[in-house]
Amino acid sequence: METKDYIVREEKYVARNYNPLPVVLNKGEGVWMWDVEGNKYLDFLSAYSAVSAGHGNPRIKKALIDQLNKLDVPCRAFRTEGLGEFAETLCQLTGMDMMLPMNTGAEAIETAIKAARRWGYRAKKIPENKARIIVCENNFHGRTTTIISFSTEPSYKADFGPFDGGFDYVPFGDAAALEKAITPDTCAFLVEPIQAEAGILMPPKGWLKKVQAICKKHNVLLILDEIQTGMARTGKDFCYQHEIDKPDCMTLGKALGGGIYPVSAFLARKDVMDHFNPGSHGSTFGGNPLATAIGIEALKMLKDENLAERSRDLGDYLLQKLRGFNSPAIKDVRGLGLLIGVEIDPAKATARDVCERLQKKGVLCKETHEVVVRFAPPLTITREEIDWGLQKVSEVLMEIETPEQQANRA
């Protein structure tokens, strides 16, 4: 079968909720992936920052296989040996008191919403059913019906209503607006430290520090969604460490499962988490032995392989090189660590067009919205591999510039 045959079959039987690039992959190793025709590609997306450890990582693979040979999924009707260790390691790393294990990022966010509301009623004494959570415009926290209820992106919401209430909006990066939006019924502020899906939108310096002070002053929980920015993606173990000691609560996912298995967590202060009691929340697969074995290994690797330092140094390098292209096709280059967005001038090309051109040259990345291309390679990537990718990016930029611009650049 050729690429187009796979695509025809998939399009016939699989819902069109994604618009993938026309490549059909069947092999991966480290930062490289191969398609069914044997073409090789550099992975510049790492499954939306999940595959930080690279594909087929030997340590993650061994953790999974060893655990699979021992005990798989007994469910949480019983205790299992790895859960306590996973939770302890995670709490020590994040500075949180307790964790609640789930599978996907969206489930961790749903957990955060339930925790914030319970704390709001039982500790802050908000009147029944009045609790409100403040979120940011252009947020991305997942795809469940509750979560899309507080999205501001029309394509995430169209004809999926009726929507859940209880959410208020402020612009991202605007601490003053947050303080104004807080009422006695506000239980939490839920926010991403960097808005990745929205196009790698960076808040102003000092914003998170101010946000933390405002939340403290008004007795509002600061819940950070670090599902994409956590696990060393931005050059620190967790993105909040660039500015504050710790939030009140946080969510993790994606790279927490070594990029190969859905492992997510909601983490919080003890006085918040203690409002969960048996029967109030759960998940058949959350915290199962496969998940905890992989999670423990992913956390060990974070330290053993200095992923935060790698991400910081290589991210600085990639950012500086991209800026150094001085391409008139690029409107902006921004990011932190190995989470970088390149904003393409829409007069030259769409971000999708750039991604398709890069694919033809052997680099896989994905557009986010119309104008931004995200570069988020595995954190195990080497400088030489980045240089290889940069060469291809440079070639694509040349293709979409006008001849006069090309001449000026040379």
Ligand X SMILES: *Cc1c(COP(=O)(O)O)cnc(C)c1O
Q: Which of 164, 174, 178, 276 is nearest to 222 (CA)?
A: 178
What is the nearest approach in angstroms of ligand X to the Cβ of residue 199?
Answer: 13
Minimal distance in Å, beta carbon 129 to ligand X?
26
Q: By CB under 6 A, name the one of 82, 105, 193, 203 that touches ligand X.
A: 105
341 binds ligand X (CB under 6 A): no
Least Å distance between CB 165 and ligand X? 21
- Supply the DSSP symbol for 371: T
**Under rule CB under 6 A, residue 232 binds ligand X:** no
Catalytic option among 210, 236, 254, 366:
254
Q: Is 228 in the site for ligand X (CB under 6 A)?
A: yes
Partnered with residue 266 across adjacent β-strands are 100, 251
Is 212 within 8 Å of 222 (Cβ atoms)?
yes
Active-site residue (options: 86, 140, 167, 172): 140
Rg (CA), the chain: 22
Of 83, 106, 182, 222, the residue at the interface with ligand X (CB under 6 A) is: 106
Give DSSP secondary structure letters for 237-285. Answer: SSGGGGT-S--SEEEE-GGGGTTTS--EEEEE-HHHHTT--TTS---SS
Starting at the edge strand found earlier in the chain, the sheet holding 98-102 runs 98-102, 264-268, 249-252, 221-225, 186-191, 132-136, 167-170
Does 253 bind ligand X (CB under 6 A)? Our answer is: yes
Q: Which is nearer to ligand X, 35 or 192 (CB)?
A: 192
Between 194 and 349, CB nearer to ligand X: 194
Residue 327 beta carbon to ligand X: minimum distance, rounded to whole angstroms: 27
Q: Measure the CA–CA gap between 219 and 75, rounded to whole angstroms.
A: 36
Sites for ligand X among residues 260-299 (CB under 6 A): none
For residues 282 and 107, the answer to whether their CB atoms sit within 8 Å is no
Task: Clarify whether 225 is annotated catalytic.
Answer: yes
Stretch in the footprint of ligand X (CB under 6 A) among 11-19, 67-75, 99-107, 326-334: 99-107
Residues for the chain: how many in total?
A: 410
Q: Is 254 a catalytic residue?
A: yes
Output the smallest distance, CB 231 to ligand X, in A. Answer: 12
**Dihedral, 206, 207, 211, 212 alpha carbons, nearest 10:** -30
**Span from 137-145, 298-306, 349-357, 385-393 in contact with ligand X (CB under 6 A):** 137-145
Of 63, 90, 102, 227, which one interacts with ligand X (CB under 6 A)?
Answer: 227
Shortest distance (Å) from residue 405 CB to ligand X? 34
Per CB under 6 A, 119 contacts ligand X: no
Rule CB under 6 A: is residue 104 a binding residue for ligand X?
A: yes
Residues 32-91 that bind ligand X (CB under 6 A): 48
Paired with 102 in beta bridges are 264
CB count within 10 Å of CB 58 equals: 10
Residue 135, SS3? strand
142 lies in the binding site for ligand X (CB under 6 A): yes
Q: Is 140 an interacting residue with respect to ligand X (CB under 6 A)? A: yes
Please pick, among 35, 43, 225, 237, the residue that the annotation labels catalytic: 225
Residues within window 167-206 making contact with ligand X, judged by CB under 6 A: 192, 196-197
- The Cβ-side half-sphere exposure at 108, using a 13 Å CA radius, reads 30
Q: How far is the CB of 192 from ligand X (least distance, A)?
A: 5
Q: Is residue 373 a contact partner of residue 349, using CB atoms and an 8 Å limit?
A: no
Q: In whole angstroms, what is the distance from residue 377 CA to residue 379 CA?
A: 6
**Residues with catalytic function:** 140, 225, 254
Where do contacts with ligand X occur on this chain (CB under 6 A)? 48, 104-106, 109, 140-142, 192, 196-197, 225, 227-228, 253-254
